[in-house]
């Protein structure tokens, strides 16, 4: 693998860097956390990228993608992380769109792809249910055919940012008599349809990022069925492979480690930086080594996709190691800020007792980020499930 950029690739990197520097909304850097972002904040950068033709780096050109190769996509990811831009939300661009342009019909491509690309419609994912998370095929939300409609009843949970969503792609059971994976279909549901209720779930970091979604006699046009009835599990696995590849977050983890080092190099009250502690600096070094190995795996995955092959079982490797590294970074960051992180537990300083928190600014999000990242090893298919996939698909066990 050639690790040196060509002259053309360096020029592309400079182009991306200049574009971000000149066009990224500065006010977004002032938001203290993801939970402080409004719907308009999330979509602002997306819409700017869409005008440039860069909102969907992995899409085929025929559907509006930029036609980048794997190296260009890697460079764009690196530069976005370096500038700490708000990521383009994955639910539309990275997750449901590939399902639509791969398995959907022409009418669905015409209806949905352009609004996704331009950031005009917000999507959420209706997969997990109470009791059906890692064992997703056991889902119980059912869709019964009634003429030209499906009538959907059930509950979805951990639905990220559903409070802002225009549409939800969801898995439903259309044949309760079939084996679990064989009786599932993939539906696109307008969130304004009568019978849909979105209720917030407040997480341990005090934020409202996830929700539960109730569906009571929701009538969904049959034309919103993607692919064939009862074959939704095939499309679900395809989508999850794309999701897992994106979860790795290598470029942003590199940025987080850089921030961690800066914190650890700051002088403490006794004048001795934590970075000088051999045990702590060893933890950072081990983290960087693991991240470098993950980065090479990600590059191989991108090269595979550039060759026309979809993400394979290596997406499970990316998911496992990527999320483990994200958790370790936030854990070490909380360790580095020490007692300054304590006032921010469970949503502080929003609670009245900590309206005027003490300590450096960088301590403010250490605890919320630590708690929020406990989830990364669960969503997109828990890491335990990913180990099973690797054992079966890679090791042949």
151 with 200: CB under 8 angstroms? no
Active site residue 30: no
Question: Do residues 81 and 17 make contact, with C-beta atoms less than 8 angstroms apart?
Answer: no
- Pairing state between β 184-190 and 167-173: antiparallel
Is it the case that residue 260 has pLDDT exceeding 80? yes
Which among 79, 243, 298, 314 is annotated as catalytic? Answer: 243
Spatial distance between the Cα atoms of 378 and 158, rounded to a whole number of angstroms: 11
Kindly list the distances between the CA atom of residue 129 and the CA atoms of 36, 122, 208, 339, in Å, as whole numbers in the listed order: 27, 21, 18, 37
Count of CA atoms in the C-beta half-sphere (13 A) of 374: 9
Structure confidence at residue 305 (pLDDT): 65
* Tokens at 254, concatenated: 């590199």
Residues in CB range of 328: below 8 A, 6 or more apart: 283, 287
pLDDT reading at 257 higher than 80: yes
The ranges assigned to domains in the chain are 7-88, 123-230, 248-393
CATH architecture of 7-88: Orthogonal Bundle (1.10)
- State the Cα–Cα distance between residues 166 and 37, nearest whole angstrom: 17
Question: Which of these ranges, 120-134, 195-209, 279-293, 331-345, has the smallest mean pLDDT?
Answer: 331-345
Q: What is the pLDDT of residue 30?
A: 79
Euclidean distance between CA atoms 40 and 90, whole angstroms? 16
- Does the structural domain 248-393 have CATH classification 3.40.50.300? no
The rounded mean pLDDT for the chain is 87
- Tokens found for residue 150: 């499906």
CATH class of 123-230: mainly beta
pTM for the structure as a whole: 0.84
With beta carbons less than 8 A apart as the criterion, state whether 127 and 149 touch.
no
pLDDT at 372: 83
Report the C-alpha gap between 42 and 52 in whole angstroms. 17
- Residues for the chain: how many in total? 397
pLDDT tens digits along 231-240: 999 999 888 7
CA distance 174 to 184: 6
Phi, psi of 144 (to 5 degrees): -110, 135
**Tens-place pLDDT, residues 164-189:** 999 999 999 999 999 888 999 999 99
């Amino acid at each position: 693998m050639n690790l040196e950029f060509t002259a053309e690739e360096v020029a592309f990197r400079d182009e991306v860097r200049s574009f971000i520097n000149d066009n990224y909304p500065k006010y977004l850097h002032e938001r203290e956390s993801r939970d402080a972002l409004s719907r308009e904040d999330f979509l602002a950068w997306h819409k700017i990228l869409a005008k440039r033709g860069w909102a969907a780096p992995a899409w085929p050109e025929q559907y509006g993608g930029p036609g980048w190769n794997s190296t260009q996509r890697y460079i764009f990811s690196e530069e976005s992380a370096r500038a700490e831009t708000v990521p383009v939300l994955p639910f539309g661009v990275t997750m449901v769109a590939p399902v639509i342009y791969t398995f959907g019909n022409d009418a669905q491509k015409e209806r949905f792809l352009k609004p996704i690309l331009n950031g005009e419609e917000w999507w959420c994912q209706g997969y997990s249910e109470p009791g059906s998370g890692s064992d997703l095929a056991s889902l119980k939300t059912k869709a019964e055919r009634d003429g030209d409609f499906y009538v959907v009843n059930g509950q979805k949970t951990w639905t990220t940012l559903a409070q802002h969503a225009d549409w939800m792609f969801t898995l439903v059971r259309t044949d309760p008599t079939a084996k679990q994976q064989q009786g599932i279909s993939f539906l696109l549901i307008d969130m304004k349809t009568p019978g849909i209720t979105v209720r917030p779930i407040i997480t341990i970091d005090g934020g409202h990022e996830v929700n539960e979604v109730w569906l009571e006699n929701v009538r969904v046009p049959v034309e919103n069925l993607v692919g064939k009835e009862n074959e939704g599990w095939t499309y679900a696995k395809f989508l999850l492979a794309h999701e897992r590849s994106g979860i790795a977050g290598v470029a942003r983890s590199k940025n987080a480690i850089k921030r961690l080092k800066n914190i650890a190099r700051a002088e403490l009250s006794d004048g001795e930086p934590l970075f000088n502690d051999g045990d702590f600096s060893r933890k950072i070094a081990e983290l960087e080594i693991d991240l470098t190995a993950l980065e090479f795996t990600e590059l191989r995955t991108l090269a595979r996709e550039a060759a026309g092959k979809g993400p394979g079982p290596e997406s499970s490797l990316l998911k496992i190691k990527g999320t483990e590294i994200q958790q370790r970074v936030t854990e070490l960051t909380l360790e580095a800020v020490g007692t300054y992180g304590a006032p921010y537990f469970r949503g502080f300083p929003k609670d009245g007792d900590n309206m005027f928190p003490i300590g450096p600014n960088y301590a403010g999000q250490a605890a919320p980020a630590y708690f929020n990242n406990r989830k990364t090893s669960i969503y997109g298919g828990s890491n335990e499930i990913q180990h099973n996939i690797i054992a079966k698909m890679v090791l042949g066990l």
